[in-house]
Amino acid sequence: MIEVRCATETDTRRVAGRLSATLQPGDVVVLAGPLGSGKTLFTQGLAAGLGVEERVVSPSFVLVRQYRSGFLPIVHADVYRLGSLHEFADLDVFELASDGVLVIEWGHAVDPALPPDHLRIDFEVEDEGARVLRLTPGGAWRTRNLDALV
């Protein structure tokens, strides 16, 4: 587990940007943490790092958004509102994101449906402006060097 404190929004975007530089097609990143903790903001930083030109907005109502203007396609899902693993399966996000990066907000709620190879990031609100991010690499992610993110 790697812990990084992001004192400002800019720090959070920066950590996401550094992570984006390490991403490969097929990667799955799960963002966990309460509403307003920075999961969507982190995804914006990730997308910016991948050169996405469109504005990245929360997928909490539409559940899934796709961005294809970057170096890698991004599929951005938010499963907070989903009632079941069946509904998650119906979204078909792994197929949608097979040639790119999949980011799932609240993804820990569908953990049984996730591939073991994923990076989980837990967001904790420390105070109004600061967040603590805890990165837990699963499966093959354990062999990756994430030191540069801190």
Ligand X SMILES: Nc1ncnc2c1ncn2[C@@H]1O[C@H](COP(=O)(O)OP(=O)(O)O)[C@@H](O)[C@H]1O
- Positions in the binding site for ligand X (CB under 6 A): 6, 8-9, 11-12, 33, 35-41, 58, 105, 129-131
Note the Cα 97 to chain centre separation in Å. Answer: 13
Window of 17-25, 54-62, 107-115, 135-143 that interacts with Mg ion by CB under 5 A = 54-62
Among 12, 37, 40, 44, binds Mg ion (CB under 5 A): 40
Please choose, from the candidates 86, 64, 85, 62, the residue with its C-alpha nearest in 3D space to the C-alpha of residue 75.
Answer: 64
Q: How far is the CB of 41 from ligand X (least distance, A)?
A: 3
- Nearest-5° Cα angle at 69, 8 to 89: 85
Under the binding rule (CB under 5 A), the answer on residue 125 touching Mg ion is: no
Q: What, of Mg ion, ligand X, none, does residue 140 touch, CB below 5 to 8 Å by kind? A: none
Dihedral Cα 101, 16, 138, 120, nearest 10 deg: -100
- Report yes or no: 77 and 102 within 8 Å, Cβ to Cβ: yes
> What does the binding site for Mg ion look like in residue numbers (CB under 5 A)?
39-40, 58, 105
